[in-house]
Structure 1
């Protein structure tokens, strides 16, 4: 029976990220490396669409049957994993399960308890008979193994019978499957693995052989690219190691220089005390010599001071005469300046009158200018309003033209899609008609041959 099967959740491949070691490269090389990695990552994301499923449902009946069988197996394992929980809580599920399911679950619990007891006896018997008669223990183990195989067959048939009863009672099936917390973690892991197997099988059944070959070819190309990228990474890592080694050598050289400077500084500190003592002695000697030289120099300066005082007195008398002559000259210059000031005042009075006249004219022109500016502001406001109205009208016109173009394009696209749909529909109908015609011809020929044979047999009789 064909059933609609939904696809599994699609998983994306991991996108390669730039390596952290690219920060140690120079700027130009690191930028180039990052840009290459980003381009490769973008191409990988774009090509994931190529690996994605083109269809969402299985088309052939065989594939649908395979998936339905696997789904039914998962459902039965989910139910069978909860038989022990239902057996431990029969009082709770008795009404929902009914008498037949209750008896089947009790039988399953009994067989399971018998198997556990038998397995425990086998373990105890194996430990107990290690030091006793090996022949008797071997016979006992064979008998217990035979009974164990019989119990296994009984449990298998009991589980099948119980599952048939659950299939006839959907309410009990749904009620028991709702108890998810009571399932064993190992069973959960098994169901998870089966779900992953179902998703993988669904994906494999969706893909055609041509698509599978294209995927394999694409994966081979990706492997080759990955190999090339690894080679490039190895080369870049070698360059990085060389750069790090060069940096380490430079650091070691600088550390050696620092060590030498520290030792030299220690030697300087060691010998600085002796140098300071020597310089103090030399400074004291130099101070005594300078003191004696300064005394002789002071005596000479006193003699020079007496000579300079006599020269000062003579120059003072000369300067007094020169000062008197300069005062007379100053008086003449001041009188001339007063005359010039009077003349300047007369000229400035005339200029002031002219300036007042000009200011009156300027005030009148300023008033006219203010009126003109107010008129200009009104005109500018009107101009802005007109300009804004024109811009709004232009934008509205452009928007209408853009909407009209979009509508025309959408209408053309819809018409093209509708025409394509009609053409495909007509082609399908023609193909179906041809197939029906061929089948009808084949049936007619077969019936004619059968009737001819029957008539021949009757004639012989």
Structure 2
């Protein structure tokens, strides 16, 4: 801004007339005398540094915004060359960038699919027009991408080396981002100049610009007088041009005479060119015949290839139709199975709900009967102990009786075996 105003001031201070000098001479205040000696000092801020916390926060917010936009504008380039930058970025940043690339690809695929399903962008405003489900689904993906970008920026802020390495790839930034960042930088400079300027200095600048406007008005009057002198000079120049035009007409008549004398030479040259053209035409016709023959051969080859491709295409179409029919059958079967499963699930769920209600009732009854059951259980325990004592005594008696019977049966069996052996021994002796 100061450079532009300085350019405007060059004419008043380099070619000032007596009136402008008198205007500066009549100024009595020290400020006006300072303007005369150094006019550009008023255009510079009165302070070189920000003194308040609020102004420093404003500039820091702009710095952080520019830093984040520089990183965001290079995310697509970084994801494209992740292998090259892997040593600098680190494992956490690499994983976050890969996840962001996956989310971006999913969102692009979803947007393409929704556009095919009828999602449109309203002209002028840029709003999306579609069903609530489509817009909600798209907004969920947008929130995921925004969260991914926030995580990436947080990790870059925690790693200055990685962020500086990415910012060094500024050559790959898109032109629109570059223009936007430059605009923010210019705005930051303008805002910094405003924050460094006090209201009193701003008033002095306005007064200074009013004086410059007055001088510009006087310079305009001077320019008007000079323009009148210029018009007179132009008129005299036009008269000289008229004289020169007359001389040019004489030269043109002489040139016309030369053209007539050269017509015969042009005619001879034309005849020679026609002969050369006929020879070239014969050669060209021979080349065209050969090229036409090649075209016929290539066309025949093309027809053969077309027939082969048609046969293969027909076979592939049949195969594709068969696969599509199988897929359709599987889909129908899947739908039918899922319908049956859903019906079965609803029935089981109804039974489960009913049994759950019955279980609650039984629990209430159980709570009432539990106390009675504990008393009955104690009585049964006592009777069981008596019964067990009796059973133990009975078992001892039964075991003793069983042992006696077993010994007796063993004795009888041994006696029978001895008698049989004796009979067999006597029978063998009589046979011999």
Give the TM-score of the pair, scaled to structure 2. Answer: 0.45
The answer to which structure, 1 or 2, has the higher relative contact order (CA under 8 A, 6+ apart) is 2
Give the TM-score of the pair, scaled to structure 1. Answer: 0.42
